[in-house]
Structure 1
């Protein structure tokens, strides 16, 4: 029985890699950083991967068990990637757990705040959350977040239409290019 767990993880690996690669590819579209006010920094990229992952998780949360299991594996891959990135930035072994806890709290806080705003169709709450998270020290001087909020709401709606079979196969795609984002 325990061997089935390892077997499932191994068979899901290609699906996890494909879906996580799509999430990170979509998060790197230059338009987010050039025209939507996302800072092109390590934390800005963390935020965009988080946003895409949150949109993915919102959809898979309503899907069947195979999609939800795959989603959990993708969350695990995300945090493994974050751990690796922290270490690449030169954080020592003693500092990694503390930073991982902080980043996990940040991520799950965003899952809640973005999810509630999108679910309620509350554009202004989403704009406020994006400003607070993407530009925490800018206050009223933060760049406008309307375009990013509108993109998130539209993408959440589009992702809702993705069939469960597509999710279970690790084939959810986001925007294909800057043209579709801008």
Structure 2
């Protein structure tokens, strides 16, 4: 991933790296895995980064052009990171494009379902989407996603107050989790 970032617009490179690092660091917070029901697996990490990225994109979607440009570069970095991770895990070069399409569909499907639930304030729909996505193999025995849902709702609300300048500077920070 890091080598591909050097190909970016030099002016945005540091901002993109910094913001993407903030997103991934927050997504790695142990509380999501120990207390909020996210599985501590490769796919669980994908899900948590996706959730953070969805919240970030939700905020930058109403921001100025500079912030939206950085947001697009962060999405690109996310998919480059997935590509790199798959290759490190031993996925063959011929299989990567097909799997990347699958991950893109997964991500954008989550963005749509989470975004709609957040926009409508539909807590039940958000809980159900989280259960379906984070625990697809446990439809009846999945852990409650209530705490994660509440965190997402509160975080989305808090991110609305983040200034345009903070977004354009790649300085958006997610609230601490405890």
For the aligned pair, the TM-score class normalised by the smaller chain equals over 0.9
- Residues of 1 paired with 2:42 and 2:93: CA distance? 19
Query: Number of residue pairs matched?
Result: 173
Indicate whether 1:172 and 2:172 are aligned. Answer: yes
**Superposition RMSD on alpha carbons, in Å?**
1.3
Q: CA deviation at 1:155?
A: 0.1
- Mapped to 1, the partners of 2:40 and 2:81 lie a distance apart of 18
2:12 equivalent to 1:12: yes
Alignment of 1:29-178 (within 5 A): 29-176=29-176
In structure 1, what is the Cα distance between the partners aligned to 2:175 and 2:96? 33
Q: Kindly tell me: are residues 96 and 23 of structure 1, through their superposed partners in 2, closer, same or farther at Cα, counting changes over 3 Å?
A: same
SS in 2 for 1:141: coil
Gaps of 5+ in 2: 1-5
**Which ranges of 4 or more aligned residues in structure 1 deviate by more than 3 Å?**
none
Distance 1:148 1:84, change over 3 A: same
Give ranges in structure 1 of 5+ residues lacking alignment.
1-5
Hey, what's the Cα distance between the residues in 2 that align with 1:46 and 1:122?
A: 23
Q: TM (normalized to structure 1)?
A: 0.93
Q: Which of the pair is proportionally richer in helix?
A: 1
Cα 1:8/1:99, change in 2 over 3 Å: closer
